[in-house]
Chains A and B, each alone.
Chain A
């Protein structure tokens, strides 16, 4: 039972919280991620997210150090997605790495398809689609006024004549707005095999079924052209 009177998620069984906690602390990176926490706040002072949001890298270090699984579960479901992963927090005198605690926790949240992961990644579905289908992160046509508010007021003006703006820059851009740069068919084929073999595609299935279906369709087509049946490609079992 949580030590805090105002604890959330009281109805979630302790075993469930403990299992997620154990998955984080049994990660191979864990040993060099967290030592002990003074709760001194140097990481919070260095953290850009903490400046603008109700977010504290210190809390991750102190709660994980205390092995407080109830509060760990709160963090996993709430503020684990508020970090920008800039690692300014590694200024820690105990040599902790709060940002890396968060990296590992996010991976666990994604693997288990937690609602917090679904919510957090919803806004990124377009980026995930671009990366996984083309291998490029941001394409010019993603520059839409309603997409990221923090891209600023000029987005509206620029997005109206995107192809014209695009033509004004050197020819390596192929004068297209759908791709940032050219990606060869061979590269795409390799990427698709990697997504499938490493379980990345399965992670997407856990998080966003619609996105998964669109991606699978795109991948299936190219894989088939090269003699692969997507259903015959098994994920590599890393435990073996």
Chain B
């Protein structure tokens, strides 16, 4: 008997790419997602355009799903969860629960691509009145309006005249306990700022930041573009509080490079919420017995040289389940994990053959 069945858990960008990789390498693959549709967070959260290339999220995810659909080696299961795991790779017994009931399968290797969840700005009550003021929204809420092509002030339904982003909400914060930078929010906020300026040309847009982390080509393709062509106002200084004056929210902060106190009325305040490990990610770490790293994501063991191998043999991780990741990171990790899982199966099969 060969060891070759690979289970990919999570059908977002990382999982789709991992499944496509193992399938294309000729390994029978089961791709499961607890949601009823594939596409992961870009689809479930209703992303409009992807960072940085502004490609439609629907279109890009459809292309990824197309690659695994009707694939001879890939068995797709939506609405399906992992409820139990026993044994060890390459003979791992996994119980799936899906629309047709429970099923027990034996797999040789698994790739965990269960992603992240957006930080909930109501978890700490002091954060900017997200659940208090209609005009305080998150990047995700803004994304939905942008997808509909209608960016308005929620309390009035009118086009806004002044909008701001507050960066690092739920990230880089010792008080909250999230020490990490979520990596993508600077780019996503800048992308949304450009979209807002395009949709509502006479709306002023501010981005209040601690550092703008626009690495690689995001620098000129997003940041310079937003600043130079779209006249987005990037101000170093984080808003300390959002209050209500009359029926308008007012943000208070310091413009740190000017060394001056600010107080600005805003029609919409957008909180740039960061990434946290998803429930599925925590759940998989328990089921597969994989340690979490210090920030609470799934730990890998290779440092910078191996971004996908966990301490449990035959179990790999891809995408934001292992820590904040952008789309490029997730796709790259999907490919890398597919290669590692395939190699694991091949080596175990050879060991089996040698043992006769």
Contacts and interface: CB of A to CB of B under 8 A. Distances in A.
Contacts of B255: 3-4
B228 A39 contact: no
Contact of B262 (A3, A35, A65, A94): A3
Interface residues of B, number: 16
Contact of A4 (B224, B236, B257, B260): B260
Contacts of B233: 66-68
B227 A65 contact: yes
Contacts of A58: 257
A5 B233 CA distance: 17
Contacts of A35: 224, 228
Given A58-B257, A67-B231, A3 B224 contact: no
A62 B237 CA distance: 14
Given A39-B236, A62-B257, A5 B262 contact: yes
Greatest chain B CB density within 10 A among A5, A6, A59, A71 is at A5
A39 B257 CA distance: 7
A3 B227 contact: no
B124 to A, nearest CB: 27
Contact of B263 (A5, A65, A68): A5
A4 B262 contact: yes
Contacts of B264: 3
A13 B304 CA distance: 57
Contacts of A62: 257-258
Contacts of B227: 36-37, 65
A94 B234 CA distance: 15
Interface string B218-235: 000001100110010101
A5 B255 CA distance: 11
Interface string A1-31: 0011110000000000000000000000000
Interface residues of A, number: 18
B261 interface: yes
Most buried by B among A37, A39, A94: A39
Nearest to B261: A5
Interface string A72-112: 00000000000000000000001000000000000000000
Interface string B260-271: 111110000000
A72 to B, nearest CB: 13
A94 to B, nearest CB: 8
A6 B260 contact: yes
A36 B224 contact: yes
Given A39-B236, A66-B233, A4 B228 contact: no
A207 to B, nearest CB: 30
A5 B258 CA distance: 12
Interface in A184-223: none
Contacts of A6: 260-261
Contacts of A41: 257
Which has the most chain B C-beta neighbours within 10 Å: A37, A66, A71? A66
A58 B224 CA distance: 17
B258 A59 contact: yes
A173 to B, nearest CB: 50
Nearest to B223: A36
A68 B264 CA distance: 13
Interface in B209-254: 223-224, 227-228, 231, 233, 235-236
15 contacts: A3-B255, A3-B263, A3-B264, A5-B261, A6-B261, A35-B228, A36-B224, A37-B227, A39-B257, A58-B257, A62-B257, A62-B258, A66-B233, A67-B231, A94-B224
Q: Which 8 A-B pairs have the closest CB atoms?
A: A36-B227, A39-B257, A36-B228, A5-B261, A66-B233, A4-B260, A3-B264, A3-B262
Interface of A: 3-6, 35-37, 39, 41, 58-59, 62, 65-68, 71, 94
Given A4-B261, A5-B263, A67-B231, 16 more contacts: A3-B262, A3-B263, A4-B255, A4-B260, A5-B261, A5-B262, A6-B260, A6-B261, A36-B224, A36-B228, A39-B257, A59-B258, A65-B227, A65-B231, A66-B231, A94-B224
